[in-house]
């Protein structure tokens, strides 16, 4: 079990998820983190007494002069035999050799750096600083060369390297703000898992297992693409780490929370096996041999600069017995609470049964069917899911209709679903005067993804106060917000993607019936396939056609929807590689405009930077003149120079505001550009997806909009 071995106070604020540890001289571990004033603190321990609980050391500050968004430590240059510090800001990447006090490289990165990790990625021969930014991922080597680039669906929020598929090479697990976990083998996407919130932290564990934390307080573990377990807390998980707390050689999952709590859970089942609390929110958790070489410690750091270190220690027999007794007492207490709840429920049922028997035994009173005692044995719940269009003030939604099979009423409905409701639960509780044998519950899926609905329905009679609970599960298919409508050539979408597959039409029909919400199975009797859906979110059409020769055409003006359809169909039909061609006039026209705007913003940015540099030289001149006038006693000249300086300062502030606005618009357009590349890749499957992404990257590097548009349409140059 873990025992505390040291504590210290940094006397500096520490920003969340910017704590790391590195051996900058190749021998001694140092703790680093981002702090106020755009600085990085570096704590070097100086522990003369290994038994001391208070750890001393030196703290030095590294001034970055830009807002720090992320940092990491690692052997970017393996020949140096020591760690380097890599710092990410909103516009730059800096690799710094702390031991020699020199920059290894300073690289401009317009996409920003929301997350950084250092290590080997795939079969690439050298260590990389992998930067997750604005819908993009860059891999920089020690020479600052951008050797690998790919795109994601949204801003990257977390990164981790691990051998995901047991092939002996590291894959990159990427968490992003669009709630997706993606796994890349170099620039090829090999797995994708959908979650319910932004992924704030990822931590590699033993083998193919990794932990993840979401912005809504969810923590869990995946084994490859399968979720092993998850838990949800009212607090927010800040950071994850792996550490062996019981000496079995397998790392457990360590979680730092926003309330200052640190808990360690079993990697197999998720039960808590260790807890500790700091006085403020956790900023970071790392592991390193911080005091004694070779002795791995778990180091927890809070936002207020409090640091505590823990190490694994074998327990003696008395401690083991005490912990076992404590666990058994907690188990007995839990069982006693459950027993009390069951006894209370039994008492209520016995009272209801007794009242019912007394009522039936009186000859002068009619028999009353009391719902507190029972409901008819043949009572059933019928559920129907239908797609409803936008009407008046009612938005488009899926109606979950529930109805009893007799004169019983539905009092309460509780629906549990991941990512669908705030708190993952919806309770519908109509007023007593409005209860009926049926009820409609509208739900609105925020995006196209399969969802499992777990429904609890409280059923009884109007005179009752106790209700029977019916539990059922209904799956929502991926494309549940699309309504089957009649085919019509009017207002067909201009956007399309077309491809050939070696499948029969019944197989595609099976995919449609499985992935769309249909009242009854769709089975047209025709040699070719032509089906039209209405996207009720925006009232646009989705048309799917297939010819007997295997040609499939998907018509929609939404490029992202077309990509989702291609990916879903490819997964269902087990298609490994698929080349497609297409055209989306509306989105490609917007891309052309954005490309032109990016060029204009970059020119304006260079001009503003030049003007600010020129103003800085003039300011220096005004200051010198004003000071000379003051020393000579010429107050009028001094005053005039300071007035000119004040006016110039106003111009500088105005120019800075313009530059900030320019930068925000540039970032917005770059994000749109990266998302278009992601959408273009999703129109293809397998190696053709990788080829399309790389060709789009080459077109962007060449600043060639026409080449980019051609690549999006055809998948290659």
Q: Which of 543, 575, 607 is the last residue of a domain?
A: 575
The band of 508, judged by pLDDT with boundaries at 50, 70 and 90, is very high
- Residues 438, 389 share a domain: yes
Domain that holds residue 592: 585-714
Q: Note whether residue 12 is domain-resident.
A: no
* The pLDDT of residue 491: 84
* The pLDDT of residue 372: 46
Q: Across-strand partners of 159?
A: 174
Alpha-carbon distance of 132 to 599, in angstroms, equals 23
Cβ atoms within 10 Å of 378's Cβ, excluding its own? 7
Q: Which of 432, 457, 476 is the last residue of a domain?
A: 476
Helix intervals (H) in 466-558: 505-515
* The pLDDT of residue 370: 43
Alpha-carbon distance of 290 to 126, in angstroms, equals 27
- Residues 516, 492 share a domain: yes
pLDDT for 187-215, tens place per residue?
888 899 989 899 999 999 998 999 999 99
The band of 319, judged by pLDDT with boundaries at 50, 70 and 90, is low
| Residue 464 predicted with pLDDT over 50 | yes
- Residues 656, 607 share a domain: yes
Helix intervals (H) in 455-584: 505-515, 559-572
- Residues 601, 707 share a domain: yes
Please check whether residue 302 is in contact with residue 310, taking contact to mean a CB–CB distance below 8 angstroms. Answer: no
Q: Note whether residue 4 is domain-resident.
A: no
| Residue 387 predicted with pLDDT over 90 | yes
**Average pLDDT in the 83-99 region?**
93
Alpha-carbon distance of 662 to 668, in angstroms, equals 10
User: Please, what is the average pLDDT of the chain?
Assistant: 88
Distance of CA 393 to the CA centre of its chain: 32
**Residue recorded with tokens 């059922």:** 472
- Residues 596, 559 share a domain: no
Report CA dihedral (671, 674, 678, 679) to the nearest 10 degrees: 70
**Residue recorded with tokens 């979720």:** 227
Alpha-carbon distance of 578 to 565, in angstroms, equals 13
Alpha-carbon distance of 354 to 357, in angstroms, equals 5
Alpha-carbon distance of 189 to 421, in angstroms, equals 29
Q: Note whether residue 191 is domain-resident.
A: no
- Residues 463, 433 share a domain: yes
- Residues 558, 662 share a domain: no
Q: Note whether residue 187 is domain-resident.
A: no
- Residues 489, 461 share a domain: no
- Residues 710, 626 share a domain: yes
| Residue 579 DSSP class | -
| Residue 48 predicted with pLDDT over 80 | no
Q: Note whether residue 22 is domain-resident.
A: no
- Residues 623, 552 share a domain: no
Q: Note whether residue 532 is domain-resident.
A: yes
- Residues 593, 563 share a domain: no
CATH number at residue 519: 3.30.310
**Higher-pLDDT residue of 366, 160:** 160
Q: Note whether residue 18 is domain-resident.
A: no
* The pLDDT of residue 291: 78
CATH number at residue 457: 2.60.40.10
Report how far apart, in Å, the C-alpha atoms of 509 and of each of 323, 387, 474, 515 are.
Answer: 59, 20, 21, 10
Q: Note whether residue 690 is domain-resident.
A: yes
Please check whether residue 127 is in contact with residue 75, taking contact to mean a CB–CB distance below 8 angstroms. Answer: yes
The band of 356, judged by pLDDT with boundaries at 50, 70 and 90, is low
Helix intervals (H) in 362-407: none
Q: Which two tokens stand for residue 507?
A: 């197989």
- Residues 569, 649 share a domain: no
Q: Specify the number of domains making up the chain.
A: 4
């Amino acid at each position: 079990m873990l025992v505390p071995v040291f504590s210290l106070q940094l006397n500096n604020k520490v920003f969340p998820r910017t704590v790391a540890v590195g051996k900058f001289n190749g021998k001694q571990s140092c703790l680093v983190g981002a702090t106020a004033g755009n600085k990085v603190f570096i704590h070097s321990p100086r522990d003369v007494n290994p038994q001391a609980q208070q750890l001393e050391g030196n703290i030095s500050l590294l001034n970055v002069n830009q807002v720090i968004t992320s940092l990491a430590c690692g052997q970017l240059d393996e020949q140096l035999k020591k760690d380097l510090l890599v710092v990410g800001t909103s516009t730059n990447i800096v690799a710094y050799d702390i031991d020699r006090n020199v920059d290894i490289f300073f690289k401009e990165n317009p996409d920003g750096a929301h997350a950084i990790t250092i290590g080997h990625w795939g079969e690439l021969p050298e260590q990389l600083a992998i930067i997750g930014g604005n819908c993009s991922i860059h891999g920089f080597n020690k020479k600052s060369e951008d050797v690998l680039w790919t795109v994601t669906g949204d801003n990257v929020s977390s990164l981790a390297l691990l051998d995901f598929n047991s092939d002996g090479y590291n894959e990159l697990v990427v968490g992003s703000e669009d709630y997706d976990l993606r796994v890349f083998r170099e620039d090829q996407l090999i797995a994708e898992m959908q979650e319910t919130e932004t992924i704030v932290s990822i931590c590699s564990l033993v083998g193919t297992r990794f932990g993840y934390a979401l912005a809504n307080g969810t923590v869990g573990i995946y084994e490859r693409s399968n979720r092993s377990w998850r838990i949800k807390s009212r607090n927010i998980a800040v950071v994850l780490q792996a550490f062996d707390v019981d000496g079995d050689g397998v790392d457990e999952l360590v979680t730092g929370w926003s309330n200052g709590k640190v808990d360690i859970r079993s990697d197999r089942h998720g039960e808590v096996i260790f807890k500790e609390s700091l006085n403020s929110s956790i900023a970071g958790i790392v592991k390193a041999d911080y005091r004694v070489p070779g002795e791995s410690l778990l180091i927890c750091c809070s936002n207020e600069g409090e640091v505590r270190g823990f190490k694994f220690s074998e327990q003696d027999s008395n401690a083991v017995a005490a912990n076992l007794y404590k666990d058994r007492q907690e188990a007995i207490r839990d069982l006693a609470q459950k027993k009390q709840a069951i006894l209370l429920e039994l008492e209520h049922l016995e009272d209801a049964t007794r009242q019912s028997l007394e009522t039936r035994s009186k000859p002068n009173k009619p028999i009353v069917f009391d719902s507190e005692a029972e409901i008819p044995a043949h009572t059933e719940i019928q559920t129907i899911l239908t797609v409803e269009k936008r009407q008046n003030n009612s938005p488009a939604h899926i109606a979950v209709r529930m109805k009893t099979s007799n004169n019983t009423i539905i009092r309460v409905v509780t629906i549990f679903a991941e990512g669908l409701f705030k708190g993952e639960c919806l309770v519908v509780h109509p007023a007593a005067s409005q209860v009926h044998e049926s009820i409609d519950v509208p739900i609105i899926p925020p995006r196209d993804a399969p969802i499992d609905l777990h429904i609890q329905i409280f059923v009884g009679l109007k005179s009752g106060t106790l209700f029977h609970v019916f539990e059922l599960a209904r799956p929502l298919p991926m494309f549940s917000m699309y309504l089957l409508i009649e085919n019509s050539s009017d207002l067909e979408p201009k956007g399309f993607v077309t491809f050939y597959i070696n499948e029969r039409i019944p197989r595609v029909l099976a995919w449609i019936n499985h992935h769309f919400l249909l009242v009854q199975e769709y089975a047209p009797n025709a040699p070719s396939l032509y089906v039209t859906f209405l996207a009720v979110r925006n009232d646009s059409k989705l048309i799917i056609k297939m010819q007997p020769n295997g040609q499939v055409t998907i018509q929609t003006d939404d490029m992202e929807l077309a990509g989702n359809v291609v990916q879903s169909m490819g997964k269902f039909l087990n298609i490994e590689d698929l080349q497609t061609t297409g055209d989306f006039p509306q989105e490609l026209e917007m891309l052309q405009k954005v490309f032109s705007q990016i060029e204009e913003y970059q020119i304006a940015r260079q001009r503003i930077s030049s003007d600010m540099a020129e103003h800085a030289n003039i300011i220096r001149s005004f200051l010198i003149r004003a000071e000379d006038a003051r020393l000579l006693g010429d107050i009028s000249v001094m005053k005039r120079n300071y007035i000119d300086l004040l006016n110039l300062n106003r111009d500088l502030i105005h120019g800075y505001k313009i530059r900030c606005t320019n930068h925000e618009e540039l970032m917005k357009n770059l994000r749109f550009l990266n998302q278009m590349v992601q959408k273009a890749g999703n129109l293809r499957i397998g190696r053709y997806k990788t080829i399309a992404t790389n060709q789009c990257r080459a077109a962007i590097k060449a600043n060639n909009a026409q080449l980019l548009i051609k690549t999006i349409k055809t998948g290659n140059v």
